[in-house]
Amino acid sequence: MYPIATTLKVGNNLLDSYLPIRNKNNNIDWQIVTGLVLSYAVKYKIDTYNLEQFREDCKNHLQALIDEPAFWTVLERMYFSSKDIFHVSPLFLLFHAQFDAEKISSGSAADRRLGTLFANLMKDFRLGHPIQDKLNFVEQQMLNKLNEKLKRLGEGPFAKEQPYLPYMATCFQSDLAFLAEHPQYLLQELTNTLRLYAFSWCAQLALNLDNWRDGEPQSKSLFFILDTEKASSERDQIKRFGYKWFASHSEKLFPMLSALEVLQWGKGATKRPLWQVYQDVMNYSEPSEQILNSLNKYLQEFIEDRQLSSRERATNLDDAFKQLLSVAVEQFQGKKSERASVNRKYINELENQICTEFIQVRGRAGKVLVLNQDRLLLLTNLTVGKNKKLRLHELLHGFEQRGFYLDNQSTQTLIAFYERMGNVERMSDSGDAVYVRKTV
């Protein structure tokens, strides 16, 4: 197959894959996103059936089983008036995401983009159905009524994207499998897990964009402090590879990903990461002159259209890719230009909608990346996963695979936090063998 689009046309900068944020209208309903992800994971959906119909079906069914009218009044207050039905079984969360004829009929465009992101992180992974809940008799009867109305999702409505960060897809699938073994913890923490991954995905994507010649991406250093720590300016890794490191790389997200759209095969084809497109071009079995000529023609037209500094024609494919990404970024430079304003809106929306809970302003240290205790505990449980316990260095490696790095000072604060929680074991006085257990 020809490795890039057969015709490269200069047009507006468009972004249609990998980044779930646009420059406006990014209001996210995490309940809907959670429902979309769970529906895709179990491969079942609710389409035209709504919560009010379900309530009536439960009423009729349970009144037939329990001949005591007053009993239903109590159940209705317990499960429906209080919305506690959504705390019974993960499957009830499917009411938050409605599908109609394999199309998502609820939620905003931002919700659907996040659904697409997580669906492609899952790839062929799926959770077993039914999820093994521990329910009382009444709750089981309600779940049985819901199961009667569930329909198979099939392929699902999400556009296909090859994961840009395969290592993160591996972690995400492992974490979903762990959560499914603990249905009540899944109910409690699935949304928080998705928020954690949405941030980490965007941050790691930004940090990996420039490494398109290196093959499959690897986790990049991004350092956080714990919310109980002071942000000292002497901490070198926090200063060099913390918030400012992420912010400087996030400026390239829209320019480079919109350039990538030009190279994709076309409508309906699986979207490919930049590193994969580059590999496909370099490994193409036919002579490369046609591809090089096509790229050079596009580059000259692009430079002229955007009124950029002229450049010599690229003499090889590697230089053509460098030039393509260079002009893609250059068009957004110049603080007063309209395009620079558009790119700034992308960055602001990313920080405000996805990253805001992970960024704090700390006096003279400015903005820093922060993990609070709830997210730290969630991250710990996810990383320990199906293991009974992990050595501290194994745990920290698991954090890093998920995009969260801690320096030595934060690590010591982390151990003290675990000791207060009572989920740490020291196997020697020296502290060399520290084990951490999950709290689930």
Cα–Cα distance list, 292 to 48, 155, 300 (Å): 51, 37, 12
pLDDT of residue 337: 78
Is 206 within a domain?
no
DSSP string, 204-252: HHHHHGGGTTSSS------EEEETTS---TT-HHHHHSSHHHHHHHHTT
Number of separate domains in the chain = 1
Selection from 245, 275, 230 nearest residue 257 by Cα? 275
* Domain range enclosing 130: 30-160
pLDDT of residue 104: 74
Is 188 within a domain?
no
Question: How many other CB atoms sit within 10 Å of the CB of residue 360?
Answer: 17
What DSSP character marks residue 230? -
Is 207 within a domain?
no
Is 59 within a domain?
yes
Is 275 within a domain?
no
pLDDT of residue 157: 81
Q: How many CA atoms lie within 13 A of 112 on its CB side?
A: 18
Is 103 within a domain?
yes
Is 88 within a domain?
yes
pLDDT of residue 138: 95
Q: What are phi and psi of 412, to 5 degrees?
A: -65, -40
pLDDT of residue 101: 60
Q: How many CA atoms lie within 13 A of 419 on its CB side?
A: 9
> Residue 130: is the preceding peptide bond cis (ω within 30°)?
yes
Here the tokens at position 225 are 């402090």
Is 357 within a domain?
no
Q: CB under 8 Å to 231, separation ≥6 — which residues?
A: 225, 238, 362, 363, 365, 368
CB 321 within 8 A of CB 296: no
Here the tokens at position 162 are 């090859």
Q: How many CA atoms lie within 13 A of 200 on its CB side?
A: 29
Q: What are phi and psi of 223, to 5 degrees?
A: -95, 140
Going residue by residue through the chain, which has 440 residues, state the pLDDT in tens, using 9 for 90 and above: 899 998 999 999 999 999 999 999 999 999 999 999 999 999 999 988 999 999 999 999 999 998 888 899 999 999 999 999 999 999 999 999 887 666 776 688 999 999 999 999 999 899 887 788 889 999 999 999 999 999 998 877 889 999 999 999 999 999 999 999 999 999 999 999 999 999 999 999 999 999 999 999 999 999 999 999 988 878 899 999 999 999 999 999 999 999 999 999 988 899 999 999 999 999 998 888 999 999 999 999 999 999 999 999 999 999 999 999 999 999 998 766 788 999 999 999 999 999 999 999 988 889 999 999 999 999 999 999 999 999 999 999 999 999 999 999 999 999 999 999 999 998 765 556 899 999 99
